[in-house]
Amino acid sequence: MTLAEDISLLIRVPLFSDLSSDHLRLLAFSAIRLELPEGRVLFRKDAAAMSGFVVMHGEVEFVDMDKPEPLTLGRYGPGSLLGETALFVETRRPATARAATDCDLVEIDRNLMRRMLNEYPDVAARLHTKLVDKLAGSVAEVGRVKSRLDAIIYPPARAN
C-alpha cells in the first residue's frame, strides 16, 4: 500500500477520524507495516500489549484458545483498530488474535502515540473527547445489559 492509501484507511478508524491529514501522515509514515498469512497468530492472550494494530486488508479473528475447540470471539476487517487501550496504557491482550485471511496491518506503537499527544495538544484533546464518549457509551450499554439480565433473573411478579 502507498502512504496515501494508508492515510485514507486510517481516517476510517473512528479514533483517528478527526485527525488532520498531517497527523494521519505522521501515523502512517511512522507505523510498522506487517503482512500476516492466513492462520498466523498476531498476538496471544495475556501477552503484554505495547501497540495497536489497524487492519488494512483482510480479516483478523479473536479466538479463545482455552476451549477444546478454538472459539471465535469476533472478526475484524479493514479499518478496525485492535488493541486501542494499549496505545495509551500498559495492558495485556484479552484474547489471541490470528489472521482469518491473508492480512496487511499497520502497528502503531505506544511511544509514537505518546509523542503525538505530547507534541500536539490539540490531538490529545480530540482523542480524549473520543475516548470519554466511547467509555460513556460502553457504560450505558452495560446498564442496558444489566437491566435485561435483571429481568431474566428477577422476572416481574404476575398478577393472578
pLDDT at 1: 65
72-91 pLDDT per residue, tens: 889 999 999 999 899 998 99
Element at 151 (helix H, strand E) = helix 121-153
pTM of this structure: 0.79
Instruction: Give yes or no for residue 50 having a pLDDT over 90.
Output: yes
Per-residue pLDDT band for 154 (boundaries 50, 70, 90) equals: confident
Phi then psi dihedrals of residue 65, to 5 deg: -90, 0
Residue 53 and residue 106: Cα distance in Å, rounded?
A: 6
Contact by Cβ (8 Å): 41, 107: no
Angle formed at CA 89 by CA 86 and CA 94, multiple of 5 degrees = 45
